[in-house]
Amino acid sequence: MKQKRSNGVKLCLGLLVSAFFLYLAFRQVDLQKLGEVLRKADIVLLILAVFVMFVSHWFRAIRHRYLLEPVKHIESNSLFSALMIGYMGNTILPAHLGEFLRAYVIGKRGRISGSATLATIVVERILDVLSLLIVMGVIIMVYPFPETVRVSAYLTFTFVIGITGFLVLLKLKPEIPFRVVEIFTKPFPHKIALKIFKLLDSFRKGIVALKDRKSYVIVFIVSIVIWVCYAGFFAVGFYAFDFVELYNLPIGASFVVLVITTISILIPSSPGYVGTYHWLCMISLSLFTIPESPALGYAIVMHALSTIPIALVGMFFALREGINISNMGRQRELREVTVID
């Protein structure tokens, strides 16, 4: 009951945040011009953009296979289906619960600890953020970012450094983080504290070095390919809306849009990042003097293309895995990722 109430509160707060950002996005938009922009979009190129997006996710599954290899070998197609299920969960569930669902599916298929799998997903996310900050560092030399984006990047970098340090200590000097956790869990009942320690220990086992130097090189190269594909998704969208010709928009702007819209994931909002994504996408396009109506039309379509196809594919894989979609937010796998030992 408490879990249901907590999820309800998070959802309501997220909806309020999304409503606020949707207001910011729509307040100065000419709806008639917005309709014209949407009607003129090139459908064929938008389909190509979706294809590029799925290619990036396939490479993400390949990279995760290398991160998981020291724990257990799992085929890329299985990791791809789990990734789609996780993304689908993030689209319809609050608080990024899709990541836990993804860890559960992988653990169930591979017969490995869900929390150990979650550890590799955390490492994957750290790689993503570090890669994104590197991209931002390069792009910022050419295209200046707004101060709010800079501050968000600094905060994100600080957070990632803190998490990375914690993971390094957990692997090399586990007694230190375990001692810290012991201090913080003293007020909790013994059963809950024990559960936290077991989860942390299982998580520690999932933090493993890659098998060989070749794997590190492959992970690095695949990470670059992933982000190039993500930028390519936005670049194809530029051509679909004819922004390159109408506004002389450089292809490099796709990396700017990529960096700024990715920040929308970090802002607590409704499932699917509705509102935050749209407003930040408009902010990024405004740096290149694109008017509000075309910018919002682009944001609406690109957001839909990055969520709806994935949600549909994720639902297909979830049904194949026997996951009850209508009751997914209350299922045990979202609360206990250590059920597979």
Helix 292-320 vs helix 213-240: crossing angle, to nearest 10: 130
Q: Is the pLDDT of residue 336 over 80?
A: no
Distances (CA, A) of 231 to 40, 227, 262: 22, 6, 11
Mean pLDDT of 147-166: 69
Please report where in the chains the tokens 């900050």 appear, as a residue. Answer: 133
Q: Are 325 and 334 in contact (CB under 8 A)?
A: no
Q: In the chain, what percentage of residues exceed pLDDT 90?
A: 30
Mean pLDDT, rounded, for 25-29: 88
For 30, residues 6+ apart whose C-beta sits below 8 A from its C-beta are 292, 293
Q: pTM of the full predicted structure?
A: 0.79
> What pLDDT does residue 341 have?
43
**Structure confidence at residue 236 (pLDDT):** 97
Share of the chain above pLDDT 70, in %: 79
pLDDT at 338: 43
Q: Span 215-226, mean pLDDT?
A: 89
Q: Judge whether 75 and 307 are in contact, CB under 8 Å.
A: no
Mean pLDDT of 213-237: 91
Confidence at residue 243, expressed as pLDDT on a 0 to 100 scale: 94
Instruction: Give the tens place of pLDDT for each residue, 258-293.
Output: 988 887 676 666 667 888 899 989 988 998 889 999
Please state, rounded to an integer, the average pLDDT across all residues of the chain.
Answer: 81
Query: What confidence score (pLDDT) does residue 340 get?
Result: 40
- What mean pLDDT is predicted for residues 69-82? 90
Asked whether residue 329 carries a pLDDT value surpassing 60, the answer given is no
- The rounded distance, in Å, linking the Cα atoms of 136 and 144 is 10
- What pLDDT, on the 0 to 100 scale, is given for residue 203? 64
Mean pLDDT of 185-205: 75
Q: Does residue 79 surpass a pLDDT of 70?
A: yes
- Residue 84 is predicted with a pLDDT of 95
Cα-based distances in Å from 328 to 112, 148, 272, 325: 21, 35, 16, 5
Average pLDDT, integer, range 94-105: 79
Residue 271 and residue 241: Cα distance in Å, rounded? 26
